[in-house]
Amino acid sequence: MITFDKFDKNRYSQDVIVTDGLIARLYGITGDNVYLLPRGEKAKSMYNFARLCKWLVDINLPKQSRVVAVGGGSVGDVAGFAASVYKRGVNVLNVPTTLLAMVDSAIGGKTAIDMCGVKNVIGSFVNCNTLTDTDFLNTLPPRQIRYAMGEILKYRMLDENIDSVKGDVKNFVRPCALFKEKIVSEDRYDKGMRKILNMGHTVGHALELQYGISHGEAVRWGLKYELELSFKLGFASREYRDGWQKYFKGNAPRINDETLRLMTFDKKNVDGKVFFVLPCDGYKTRFFTADDLHGLFAEV
Ligand SMILES: NC(=O)c1ccc[n+]([C@@H]2O[C@H](COP(=O)([O-])OP(=O)(O)OC[C@H]3O[C@@H](n4cnc5c(N)ncnc54)[C@H](O)[C@@H]3O)[C@@H](O)[C@H]2O)c1
């Protein structure tokens, strides 16, 4: 469940708060029940996960307590993973502090850490609720806002109501979060409907790995290429494709043999075939699998 409310750190004295040093400093989050992770992606290591688990054991957190994860997707992923295995699972309250976490990672209970250079390769599902306070966005650097715009574009391509949202970026938070919550509540374990949230991600993940660009940027370019693919395969009309083109200005990272190789490692792939969720007219999607990526991406 998502609640939209002000975050009051004093409400969580019976729980533990997991955050990072910057957020703790900006929002005065201190106390014996606060655990600080390193900032950003480097928090998502086996080392940091194990240290957090050790701390939970050291303080003997009761199984009825909650882990309150105050941060972006990185904090949420590590705190959520630790919470999902500590005493075979304690509840989590996600308090997202980045735009990406508000519209995406703090909802749905997926957790993960990276290993051997492979992103999100070890993870779990956890029981979580979400408390969203958009005031956290006031301190977020513009760069981090831009990073989330790829995910927000994905939601716009999936839902007409989100596409018609106007004005400040904060206006997108509630409809995107509620859209994701609805999808996830119907398919928690990614067996069917939830897969639509992967639109743009097959190409996007490969570009993210290859070029070291942010997840949001990669998803935006992923959407561009998957839209082209959808048009090439006859799933999307020319009019539809041209209508979305204005969101893809700039120099797209190029798809080459390495990009195609990386796509073959995608977690969504089935029976050795690469899985795509392609955008189609009328805010619809089409699932598509392919084994000949070279033929598919020629001239895309
Ligand atoms: N579990 C999921 O469903 C899911 C979905 C999407 C992405 N993710 C993961 O999320 C991660 C990226 O998360 P992110 O984009 O939220 O960034 P992040 O969590 O890596 O944080 C980026 C930086 O922003 C800072 N920050 C956070 N909130 C702030 C605030 N309010 N003011 C100022 N600074 C703030 C942090 O200290 C950090 O330095 C990736 O590892 C990705 O794999 C997970």
Whose alpha carbon is nearest atom 6 of ligand 1? Answer: 105
Rounded Cα distance between 210 and 248, Å, is 19
> What's the pLDDT at 164?
96
What does the pLDDT read at residue 261? 93
What is the pLDDT at residue 300? 74
β-strand partners of 280 = 284
Query: Which residues, other chains included, contact 262 with Cβ-Cβ below 8 Å and sequence gap of 6+?
Result: 205, 206, 209, 210
* The pLDDT value given to residue 243: 96
Check if 161 has its Cβ closer than 6 Å to any atom of ligand 1.
no
Mean pLDDT of 245-252: 92
With a 6 Å cutoff on the Cβ, whether 71 touches ligand 1 is yes
Residue 21 scores a pLDDT above 80: yes
Q: What is the pLDDT of residue 34?
A: 98
Looking at the DSSP bridge assignments, the partners of residue 290 are 274
Whether 222 is in the pocket of ligand 1, judged by its Cβ within 6 Å, is no
pLDDT beyond 90 at 295: no
Ligand 1 mean position, distance from CA 148 (Å): 10
Give the mean pLDDT of 218-237: 96
What are the residues whose beta carbons fall under 8 Å from the beta carbon of 182, sequence distance 6 or more?
A: none
Residue having the nearest C-alpha atom to atom 4 of ligand 1 = 105
Q: Which fold has domain 143-297?
A: Dehydroquinate synthase-like, alpha domain (1.20.1090)
The domain spans of the chain are 2-140, 143-297
Q: Tell me the H-state helices in 86-172.
A: 99-100, 142-158, 160-163
pLDDT in tens, 182-217: 999 998 888 888 999 999 999 999 999 899 998 899
CA of 77 to the centre of ligand 1 (A): 9
Tokens for 280, please give them. Answer: 């189609």
Q: From the alpha carbon of 20, which atom of ligand 1 is closest?
A: 37
- Ligand 1 atom closest to the Cα of residue 214 is 15
Rounded Cα distance, 215 and 203, in Å: 11
Beta carbon of 215 within 6 Å of any ligand 1 atom: yes
Looking at residue 117, its pLDDT comes to 79
Q: Is the pLDDT of residue 86 over 90?
A: yes
Average per-residue pLDDT for the chain:
95
144 lines ligand 1 (CB under 6 A): yes
Task: State whether the beta carbon of 132 lies less than 6 angstroms from ligand 1.
Answer: no
Length in residues, the chain:
300
| Cα separation, 8 vs 26, whole angstroms | 14
The CATH number that domain 2-140 falls under is 3.40.50.1970
Residue 130 has phi, psi (to 5 degrees) of: -130, 135
Q: pLDDT at residue 85 above 80? A: yes
- Rounded-to-integer distance, Cα 176 and Cα 182, Å: 10
Domains 2-140 and 143-297 fall in the same CATH topology: no
Tens-digit pLDDT profile for residues 125-148: 999 999 999 999 999 999 999 989
More confident: 189 or 284: 284
Closest C-alpha to ligand 1, atom 33: 140
Kind of pairing between the strands at 274-280 and 284-290: antiparallel
> With bands split at pLDDT 50, 70 and 90, how would you rate the model's confidence at 267?
confident
- Pair 43, 84: CB distance under 8 Å: no
Q: Spell out the residues 6+ positions from residue 152 whose beta carbon is closer than 8 angstroms to its own.
A: 99, 103, 162, 169, 172, 176
Binned at pLDDT 50, 70 and 90, residue 3 comes out as very high
At 291 the pLDDT is: 85
* pTM of the shown model: 0.94
Nearest CA to ligand 1 atom 17: 72
Q: What is the structure's pLDDT at 288?
A: 95
pLDDT (tens digit, 9 = 90+) per residue, 46-67? Answer: 999 999 999 999 999 999 999 9
Residue nearest to atom 13 of ligand 1 (CA): 73
Residue 108 CB–ligand 1 contact under 6 Å: yes
Question: What distance in Å separates the CA atoms of residue 131 and residue 62, rounded to the nearest whole number?
Answer: 22
CB 260 within 8 A of CB 294: yes
Q: How many CA atoms lie within 13 A of 128 on its CB side?
A: 33
